[in-house]
């Protein structure tokens, strides 16, 4: 039962980055199911002001119920704070497929991202804050196309 | 020394009033790109306000939630520093306010992230990462405008001069036992950050002179009242309304 609920909840898509699930984003921090089928699910927001959190909580509860949970409690935890290092490899690949250059690892030196479209390493920053504070807008010198870059944080 | 409740109100009110002011740029920014960036800064500030005020309400235990605290307190009940209630002025003034506030918040939240009070530490750790983006955004603009044309240099310099007296209040003795932090200890590291940015912007640090004070005790400038009137009008006109 726990495995089924966890798989269902992890697959809930992020309302802002629809190509990613909350599991791939690293927003799902814990799933427990007691003998009576009551699930407690812990999620963490990517940032405090995340307006999508209420939708995520509702979607998570619905997914858990659909997977057989008799009752659901969704707990929001802030610590440890979410970091882009929790993005799974699948998530990074999906971001690149969607035209968003994935973030580097915080533990590694910061490198300018390559173009997600043509893989050219020559890109320049147009704006440090794009559609979200964590998204920079860049342009590829190779193919000339602009793209978003999720900054490591 | 103030209570943790009062301290959380101060942290939350700084963020809430800054969010409301910054959001005034929506549909007024000089470029679409800056419009989106400023809206994101405002959204971060609003998220921080919700976290601090929500916790304050639970701690108080009097049935006031984040909305009650945001929309049903009067001016004298607000604990924000006066810096955040100043009018936006021109774009340079907004940039200066954002830089000074964010540099303070980043240092403050990084320190609070290490306090033994787990919930305060949790919110602060999250908020510190967001403030880092605001610092880098405001720094880039301070440098671009300060080290720009003669006109942009003059206006950025005037903005820094105008806002500077309101920064002193951020470092006044004001803390809660759970925070265990003397704000005065943040001033040196804050000056290092700010002076470096001003230097790159070919601007000099203003002289310390007259210093604004009183916000932490509910004494505000003439500009907070109209801001609250606008921010609170819908909630008060439709008391108890639900989506
Ligand atoms: Zn390219």
Q: Which domains does chain B have, with CATH numbers?
A: 4-237 (1.20.1260.10)
Residue A126 falls inside a structural domain: yes
Residue A85 falls inside a structural domain: no
Quick check: B130 and A50 CB within 8 A?
A: no
Q: What percent of chain B has pLDDT over 70?
A: 100
A72 shares its domain with A21: yes
Q: What is the pLDDT of residue A58?
A: 96
A71 shares its domain with A104: no
Residue B83 has pLDDT above 90, yes or no: yes
A105 shares its domain with A139: yes
Residue B221 has pLDDT above 90, yes or no: yes
**Which residues share a beta bridge with A41?**
A31, A74
A65 shares its domain with A131: no
Residue A93 falls inside a structural domain: no
A20 shares its domain with A66: yes
Local confidence band at B243 (pLDDT 50, 70, 90 cut-offs) = confident
| Structural domain boundaries enclosing A13 | 2-76
Per-residue pLDDT tens for B112-169?
999 999 999 999 999 999 999 999 999 999 999 999 999 999 999 999 999 999 999 9
* Ligand 1 centroid from CA A148, angstroms: 12
A64 shares its domain with A112: no
- Domains contained in chain A, number: 2
Q: What percent of chain B has pLDDT over 90?
A: 93
B40 vs A contacts (CB less than 8 Å): 129, 132-133
A127 shares its domain with A71: no
Residue B74 has pLDDT above 80, yes or no: yes
Residue A17 falls inside a structural domain: yes
Segment 74-93 of chain A within 8 Å of chain B by CB? 77-82
* Cβ count near B187 (within 10 Å): 17
Q: What is the pTM of this model?
A: 0.93
A27 shares its domain with A61: yes
Q: Are A65 and A1 in contact (CB under 8 A)?
A: no
Q: What is the pLDDT of residue A16?
A: 86
Strand order in the sheet with A38-43: A28-33, A38-43, A71-76
Residue A90 falls inside a structural domain: no
Q: Which residue has the higher pLDDT, B67 or B240?
A: B67
* Ligand 1 centroid from CA A141, angstroms: 7
- How does the average pLDDT of chain B come out, rounded? 96
A24 shares its domain with A66: yes
Is A132 in the B-facing interface, judged by CB distances under 8 Å? yes
The pairing of strands A123-127 and A135-140 is antiparallel
Average pLDDT by stretches of 10, chain A with 153 residues = 96 92 95 96 93 93 97 94 93 94 85 90 87 86 94 89
Residue A81 falls inside a structural domain: no
Residue A47 falls inside a structural domain: yes
| pLDDT, average across residues B217-229 | 98
Local confidence band at B93 (pLDDT 50, 70, 90 cut-offs) = very high
We report the CATH number of the domain holding residue A44 as 3.30.300.130
């Amino acid at each position: 039962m726990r495995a089924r609920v966890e798989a269902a909840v992890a697959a809930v898509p992020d309302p802002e980055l629809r190509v990613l699930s909350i599991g791939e984003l690293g927003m799902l921090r814990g799933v427990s199911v007691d003998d009576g089928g009551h699930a407690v699910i812990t999620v963490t927001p990517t940032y405090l002001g995340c307006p999508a959190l209420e939708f995520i909580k509702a979607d998570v509860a619905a997914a858990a119920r659909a997977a057989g949970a008799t009752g659901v409690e969704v707990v929001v935890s802030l610590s440890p704070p979410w970091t882009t290092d929790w993005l799974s490899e699948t998530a990074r690949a999906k971001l690149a497929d969607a035209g968003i250059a994935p973030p580097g690892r915080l533990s590694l030196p910061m490198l300018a991202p390559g173009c997600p479209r043509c893989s050219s390493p020559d890109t320049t920053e147009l704006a440090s804050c794009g559609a979200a504070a964590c998204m920079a807008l860049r342009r590829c010198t190779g193919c000339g196309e602009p793209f978003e870059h999720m900054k490591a944080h | 020394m103030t209570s943790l409740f009062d301290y959380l109100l101060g942290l939350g009110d700084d963020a809430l009033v800054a969010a409301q002011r910054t959001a005034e740029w929506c549909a007024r920014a000089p470029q679409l790109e800056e419009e989106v960036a400023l809206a994101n800064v405002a959204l971060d500030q609003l998220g921080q306000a919700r976290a601090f005020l929500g916790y304050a309400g639970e701690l108080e235990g009097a049935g006031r939630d984040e909305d009650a605290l945001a929309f049903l307190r009067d001016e004298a009940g607000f604990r924000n520093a006066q810096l955040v209630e100043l009018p936006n002025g021109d774009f340079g003034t907004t940039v200066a306010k954002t830089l000074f506030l964010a540099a303070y918040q980043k240092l403050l939240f990084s320190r609070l992230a290490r306090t033994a009070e787990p919930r305060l530490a949790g919110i602060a750790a999250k908020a510190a990462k967001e403030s880092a983006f605001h610092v880098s955004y405001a720094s880039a603009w301070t440098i671009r405008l300060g080290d720009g044309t003669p006109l942009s240099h003059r206006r950025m310099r005037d903005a820094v001069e105008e806002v500077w007296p309101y920064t002193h209040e951020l470092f006044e003795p004001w803390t809660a036992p759970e925070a265990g932090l003397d704000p005065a200890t943040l001033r040196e590291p804050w000056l290092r950050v700010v002076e470096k940015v001003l230097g790159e912007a070919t601007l000099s640090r203003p002289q310390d002179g007259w210093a604004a004070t009183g916000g932490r005790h509910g004494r505000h400038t003439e500009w907070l009242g109209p801001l609250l009137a606008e921010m609170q009008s819908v909630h008060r006109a439709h008391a108890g309304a639900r989506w």
